[in-house]
């Protein structure tokens, strides 16, 4: 019971729960009894338990979307487009230069030193890194390694990475990365309507996001704005 209560607390904080980030809570939600408790708790406070595919991360999404929520979703999408899309594009270019598949997946390891060395030996990667104006806290005097560090810290603060090896600055990619790719795909398909007040939310009534199904933008608010404070999880 303690573990499912911890899972409910994380859901209420707007966290994405996957096997990399919060593995014990993920196991509790994988258990049918735990998932039933979570479903009922979310429903009682006006939300629903959503999921990224059959094996992906769990998160809490709104069950009813108001005009104010849609406005917040559009703002969140703009934040992703302006700040995270350049980082993802840069990381994909890096992986391709190393002969890897471009997409980043849950469980992948990213090493600060390895990325820094790749930048040091590639003028293209270094220039693209310097061109990223929205790296949080970036200064004009930053070195390329400083910017790599800030980029990884930003991804960690947004829940897309967890520091798996503090001594060697190794980060493991969380299951939330699948949601980011869903968001980027939604932005690409709807870039001309993000400022349109008539943008229609597409809600998966099963509480899941299964590629290539439409993005559940009702859950997008969880990226930047955790749900309103909820009552304490059941004891």
User: What would the DSSP string read from start to end of the chain?
Assistant: -HHHHHHHHHHHTT--B-SSSSHHHHHHHHSHHHHHHHHHHHHHTTEEEEEETTTS-EEEEESS--HHHHHHHHHHHHHIIIIIHHHHHHHHHHHHHTTS-SS--TT-EEEHHHHHHHHHT-HHHHHHHHT-TTSTT--TT--HHHHHHHHHHHHHHTTSEEEEETTTTEEEE-THHHHHHHHHHHHHHHTTTTT-TTPPP---TTSEE-TTSPP-GGGGGGGTSPPPP-PPPP-
| Residues 75-120: tens digit of each pLDDT | 778 778 888 999 999 999 999 888 888 999 999 999 999 999 999 9
Confidence check: pLDDT of 35 > 90? yes
**Bridge partner list, 110:** 171
Backbone angles phi, psi at 54, to 5 degrees: -70, -20
Instruction: Delimit the domains of the chain by residue range.
Output: 78-179
Question: What is the predicted pLDDT for the residue at 112?
Answer: 95
Q: Which residues contact 113 (CB under 8 A, 6 or more apart)?
A: 168, 169
Question: What is the predicted pLDDT for the residue at 4?
Answer: 94
Question: What is the predicted pLDDT for the residue at 164?
Answer: 94
Kindly state the average pLDDT of the residues 157-175: 94
Minimum mean pLDDT range among 14-28, 153-167, 177-191, 209-223: 209-223
Q: Which residues contact 165 (CB under 8 A, 6 or more apart)?
A: none
CATH code of the region 78-179: 1.10.10
pTM above 0.85, yes or no: no
């Amino acid at each position: 019971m303690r573990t499912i209560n911890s899972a409910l607390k994380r859901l209420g904080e707007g966290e994405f729960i996957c096997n990399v980030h919060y593995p014990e809570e993920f196991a509790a939600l994988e258990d049918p009894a735990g998932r039933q408790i979570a479903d009922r708790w979310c429903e009682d406070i006006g939300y629903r338990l959503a999921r990224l595919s059959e094996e992906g991360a769990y998160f809490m999404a709104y069950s009813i979307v108001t005009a104010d929520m849609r406005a917040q979703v559009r703002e969140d999408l703009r934040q992703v487009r302006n700040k995270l899309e350049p980082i993802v594009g840069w990381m994909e270019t890096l992986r391709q230069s190393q002969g890897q598949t471009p997409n980043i997946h849950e469980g992948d390891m990213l090493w600060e030193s390895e990325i820094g060395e790749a930048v040091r030996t590639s003028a293209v990667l270094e220039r693209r890194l310097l061109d990223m104006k929205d790296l949080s806290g970036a200064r004009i005097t930053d070195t390329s390694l400083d910017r790599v560090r800030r980029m990884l810290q930003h991804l960690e603060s947004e829940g897309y990475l967890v520091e798996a090896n503090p001594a060697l600055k190794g980060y493991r990619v969380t299951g939330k990365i699948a949601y980011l790719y869903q968001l980027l795909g939604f932005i690409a398909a709807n870039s001309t309507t993000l400022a349109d007040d008539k943008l229609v939310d597409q809600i998966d009534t099963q509480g899941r996001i299964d590629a290539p199904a439409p993005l559940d933008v009702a859950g997008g608010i969880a990226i930047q704005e955790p749900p309103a404070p909820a009552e304490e999880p059941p004891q």
